Amino acid sequence: MKKPHLIDTTLRDGEQAPGVVFSLKEKVEVARRLDEIGIPELEIGTPAIGKNEQNDIRCLINQGFSFQSTCWARATKNDLEASLNCGAKRVNLSFPVSDVQLKAIGKSRSWVMDSIPEIMEFAADSFEFVAVGAQDASRADVEFLKEYISAVKYFGAKRIRIADTVGVMNPLSVQNLFSILAGTFPETDFEFHGHNDLGMATANHAVALTSGASSVSLTVNGLGERAGNAPLEEVIFALKYSYGINLDFNGKLLTELSAFVEKISGRKLPISKPVTGEMAFSHESGIHCRSLKENLLTYQPFNPEEIGKETIFVIGKHSGTGALTDFLAKRNIFLSKTETTDLVVKIKSLSTQLKRDLNFTEIQNLIQTKQFNFSV
């Protein structure tokens, strides 16, 4: 298995999330951070959007980043010319391949096949690298998909993007499709581009890479249309800790990038989001906290220090005396065993009333109300 090739499309598909608009300054900063992390390829925009988008793309290309810059285009000469006007040397052009998509634009399978020679010849003559996407491949007829792939490969496609456009695939169907395609077209660079409509994007991309795909396209935080795309940071850590594939990216930089994209997109992350969520490494259960004191991996997939975070013990309804003792000791508060046991009872009661955990001030107030004797 070749080293997986990651393509970040935050600046293209990510910005297509409803209500999200990045300034040029923000785009450059996202690109700079991705470059620092070492992501090898970025899909940096859609030139056909207009002149401002083309200017932004041209500026990004001229920054001299080390990653490969690719533009996205529909399978039209106008879109390809717009990409050329930006100075792009790499393009990912896309044809719809499912009957539902073709019917929506009044086209047919024969239209796709008849259009390929002219569009592909123009693209191959104009760009150094041409990737070709199969839009809505997950709902396409597999035999037609094979016919399509064979044709675009013949006319110079160097990579084939298999798109799960509405996120309906699952790990088993991803494995099955890529096994078929890789078996039919050996030595072909397949890319998987899936969406998260049914919550399976991270798993689907990891499976794709172990079933015949050599590339995947992702976005920071899973930013994207509808329910979003596969999150870059989640796929990286899923590969490392579920598949044993270490791509050796800096986890702390990924966390910082996640926070930056959260800020500039205006899309607040769920606090329990895998990997980079605010409470992804927080614990309240007394049983869990006791074991975590001995070994951080008892109830965590990896040490959060790897991504610049720390294990957090929350005090509330489910806390035990051990976690409370440690919580107070870190704040130079020491109670007797009896006092600690009594305080846990009070904490459980108040936490139940408030329907949440307690903060340090509230715990202090309980101590003072009880008039415990403690040393500081």
Q: Which two tokens stand for residue 123?
A: 């693209």
Contact 370, 349 (CB under 8 A): no
Per-residue pLDDT in tens (0 to 9) along the chain, 376 residues: 789 999 999 999 999 999 999 999 999 999 999 999 999 999 999 999 999 999 999 999 999 999 999 999 999 999 999 999 999 999 999 999 999 999 999 999 999 999 999 999 999 999 999 999 999 999 999 999 999 999 999 999 999 999 999 999 999 999 999 999 999 999 999 999 999 999 999 999 999 999 999 999 999 999 999 999 999 999 999 999 999 999 999 999 999 999 999 999 999 999 999 999 999 999 999 889 889 988 999 999 999 999 999 999 999 999 999 999 989 998 999 999 999 999 999 999 999 999 999 999 999 999 988 645 454 4
191: nearest Cα among 207, 174, 156, 215: 215
CA–CA separation, 130 and 71 (whole Å): 10
User: Following DSSP, what letter does each residue of 262-290 receive, concatenated?
Assistant: HHHHT-PPPTT-TTTSTTTTEE--HHHHH
CA–CA separation, 372 and 336 (whole Å): 9
Rg over CA atoms, the chain: 25
- pLDDT of the residue at 368: 87
- pLDDT of the residue at 286: 87
User: Following DSSP, what letter does each residue of 39-87 receive, concatenated?
Assistant: --EEEEE-GGG-HHHHHHHHHHHHT--SSEEEEEEESSHHHHHHHHHTT
Domain with CATH 3.20.20.70 in the chain: 5-265
C-alpha 257: how far from its chain's center?
12
- pLDDT of the residue at 2: 83
Amino acid at 222: G
- pLDDT of the residue at 308: 96
CA dihedral 92, 95, 96, 99 (to 10 degrees): -150
The model's pTM is 0.93
The residues, ordered by sequence, that sit 6+ positions from 42 with a Cβ below 8 Å of its Cβ are: 7, 8, 9, 10, 11, 31, 34, 65, 67, 68, 69, 70
- pLDDT of the residue at 372: 52
SS3 content of the chain, % helix, strand, coil (to 5): 50, 15, 35
Burial 159-188 (b: 16+ CB within 10 A, else e): bbbbbbbbbebebeebbebbeebbeebeeb
163: nearest Cα among 243, 92, 83: 92
CA–CA separation, 54 and 78 (whole Å): 13
Q: Please give the class, per CATH, of domain 5-265.
A: alpha beta
- pLDDT of the residue at 111: 98
Distance separating the N- and C-terminal Cα atoms of the chain: 58
